[in-house]
Structure 1
Amino acid sequence: MKALVLTGVKQFEIEDRPTPALKAGEVLINTAYAGVCGTDHDLYAGRPGSAPAVPPIVLGHENSGVVEAIGEGVTNVKTGDRVAVDPNIYCGQCEYCLTQRPELCDTLSAVGVTRDGGLEEQFTAPATVTYKLPDNVSLKDAATIEPISCAVHGVDLLDIHPYQKALVIGDGFMGQLFVQILQAYGVHQVDLAGLFDEKLELNQRLFNVKNIYNTNNVAIPENEYDIVVEAVGLPQTQHSSVLATKKGAQVLMFGVGPQEASFEMNTYDIYKKQLRIQGSFINPLTFKSAISLLESGKVDVEPLISHEFELEDVQDFLDGKIEGVSKAVVKVGK
């Protein structure tokens, strides 16, 4: 089978590999699609994602496909099922797993990060992280379930009420997902700030965004929002997210920035406004909710997927040679 193997920092090789060995409790999957995201950019550049990736390794943690075979003891899926895979695998025994915070697991492992993922024609995953797809969710759309589930976790950490007014800072794929998910959770008004008129206008036209702010030209309003989602990860947007809050507001710091980055904020404002500033890491047990959002149509990813690549295109994309990408998926299967 064909596999795209990360062999070193910014080094890929297309290799012909044998079918992965199937262990008890695991599922062998014929890959259909694998999404490519910011984490893959980091892993390709030698930076850690949810965990470090040690070459040689096959990336691809946003995966969909069809079950080819099941190992001993697997009962939740069968051969021929269309599935998506939650990449994150928890030990179940550390302090964090035992106190219902598995995303903070001391020995977190992940498909496409610490074990081979979906940028190969077949891969294996534990049955415990393999989810059968509804009939109306396409395999292409299913490659976005993992990022949807990460956004769902972020929203689950907030205290949501219909009266709230929310702002999402960042018009990348994740920011655009938050627009729809916040509305699905009942927030009555969601505004969007970003850098690209076409993305901002698309969300206003299709997804009921009321106000859009192209920050190349206009400033984000201050002291106005009950909820602010920062989906960029840069000090300047993190600073802006705090300034945009009104009294009693919540800020979700979702964007992943450089490990050494920091930003300044007025600590008196935290006190005076009674701000709640919340981090969010990966997607503990939110895959079912993410699938339901796609199944119900409350989240529509088709207008957000801008590019469909082959395995041979991935390195050019990660090297920045392909422009205008909002969300890319790789068609791995035939």
Structure 2
Amino acid sequence: MQALRLHGNRDLRLEEVSEPIPGPGEVVIRIEAAGICGTDRHLFLGEFPSTPPVTLGHEFSGIITTTGAGVTLAPGTRVTCDPNIPCLSCPQCLRGRINLCPNNRPTGVGRDGGFASLALIPARNAIALPADLPPHHGAFCEPLACTLHGMDRAALRAGERCLIMGGGVIGLLALQLARAAGAEGMMLTRSLAKQDLALSLGADHVAATPEQALQIWPQGADAVIECAGVVDTIEAAPALTATGGRIVILGVLAKGTRVSIEPFDLLFREIQMLHSFLNPFTHVRAAQMIASGTIAVAPLITRLLTLPEALAAISSTAPAGEVRAIVVPQ
């Protein structure tokens, strides 16, 4: 079968590999859809830790083809994959902080993932989806699960103001979650196309610059959700946050990147700056929200790609206006 494998920094290859065989407690999935995440580009550039050679792809869903001993999920079941595999025995896992497990081997990062015809995963990481769910929608469960964790940290209350910085897939999912929580939502992005998309998904306001955002909300937002993973947006976040508010960093910057923050301002106005990593105990919720249609994902699909096209896409900067490219290996 074909797989898109990372061999080192800027060394991504489309290769023929053997089809996986499930062991006890494992399932093989025929991949229907796999999303290209910004993290995949960080991995390609060597800006995020991985263990090559490895098949990339951590946002994927598909149909179970074969199962190992002890698996109750039946072949033919459509599933989404929770890519994270914590050890469940270290101090962080025993505290319930499974996203901080130092022994975690994420699928598509530390073990072979979904940019392939087939993927092998632990059955406990396969979460059933409805048979009639559009096949491309299952690939959004992982980014939604990560966004849910960030919004849980934001702890929005009905009537609060929530500013989303960044109009990519995480930002547009966060916007929908903010509106579902009863918050007033604003999207900050320079892209006119993403502003229009945000308005169609329920944004109360859009802004192209921090200055425009402050013209709309002079006192700032109760919660600022940084989803762009850009130095400028992180540095701008405190000035856009109301006194007593909080900032949640969901965006991923390259390892080693530094930002400039004024601690006195955070202290004097008692602004919390929180970070959100991975998807602890949120993947099932994400799958349920997508299955029920509570969160709209069809408008977030920008283009469908084959595996050879995915190689070129990951090796280059995402085109302007792109929200999510979906790889369809078959």
The one-letter code of the counterpart of 1:220 is A
Worse-matched range after superposition: 292-301 or 121-130: 292-301
Unaligned stretches of 5+ in structure 1?
A: none
Count of residue pairs brought into register by the alignment: 326
- 3-state SS, counterpart of residue 39 of structure 2: helix
The answer to whether the 8 Å contact 2:42/2:254 transfers is no
Give, in angstroms, the shift of residue 186 of structure 1: 2.6
After superposition, give the CA deviation of every residue in 1:47-97 in whole Å (9 maximum; x if it has no partner): 22xxx322221111111110011111112x111100110100000011100
Give, in angstroms, the shift of residue 234 of structure 1: 2.2
CA distance in 2, matches of 1:35, 1:321: 15
1:59 counterpart residue number: 56
CA distance in 2, matches of 1:254, 1:241: 12
Q: Does 2:113 align with 1:127? A: no
- 3-state SS, counterpart of residue 285 of structure 2: helix
1:178 counterpart residue number: 174
CA distance in 1, matches of 2:53, 2:138: 27
- 3-state SS, counterpart of residue 306 of structure 1: strand
Give, in angstroms, the shift of residue 223 of structure 1: 3.1
The one-letter code of the counterpart of 2:81 is V
Equivalent of residue 213 in structure 2, options 204, 208, 220: 220
- 3-state SS, counterpart of residue 154 of structure 2: coil
2:65 counterpart residue number: 68
The one-letter code of the counterpart of 2:187 is L
Moved over 4 A (4+): none
Percent pairwise identity: 30
1:36 counterpart residue number: 36
2:189 counterpart residue number: 194
After superposition, give the CA deviation of every residue in 1:235-275 in whole Å (9 maximum; x if it has no partner): 22112111111122111011111222233333232233221
The one-letter code of the counterpart of 2:43 is L
The answer to whether the 8 Å contact 1:316/1:322 transfers is no
CA distance in 1, matches of 2:279, 2:204: 28
The answer to whether the 8 Å contact 2:175/2:185 transfers is yes
After superposition, give the CA deviation of every residue in 1:169-223 in whole Å (9 maximum; x if it has no partner): 1111211111011112232x1001012011101211x11211111129x543153
Give, in angstroms, the shift of residue 322 of structure 1: 6.3
The 5 A counterparts of 1:1-334 are: 1-48=1-48, 52-75=49-72, 77-187=73-183, 189-204=184-199, 206-215=200-209, 218-221=211-214, 223-320=219-316, 323-324=319-320, 325-333=322-330
CA distance in 1, matches of 2:319, 2:265: 39
The answer to whether the 8 Å contact 1:86/1:129 transfers is yes
- 3-state SS, counterpart of residue 148 of structure 1: helix
TM-score by length of 1: 0.93
Worse-matched range after superposition: 2-11 or 273-282: 2-11
The answer to whether the 8 Å contact 2:231/2:259 transfers is yes
After superposition, give the CA deviation of every residue in 1:297-328 in whole Å (9 maximum; x if it has no partner): 22111111101000001122123276232210
Give, in angstroms, the shift of residue 134 of structure 1: 2.2
The one-letter code of the counterpart of 2:201 is F
- Against the structure 1 CA distance between its residues 154 and 165, is the aligned structure 2 distance closer, same or farther, given a 3 Å change threshold? same
Give, in angstroms, the shift of residue 35 of structure 1: 0.8
The one-letter code of the counterpart of 1:258 is A
CA distance in 1, matches of 2:4, 2:229: 28
CA distance in 2, matches of 1:146, 1:277: 24
- Against the structure 1 CA distance between its residues 128 and 105, is the aligned structure 2 distance closer, same or farther, given a 3 Å change threshold? same
CA distance in 1, matches of 2:87, 2:119: 21
The one-letter code of the counterpart of 1:38 is G
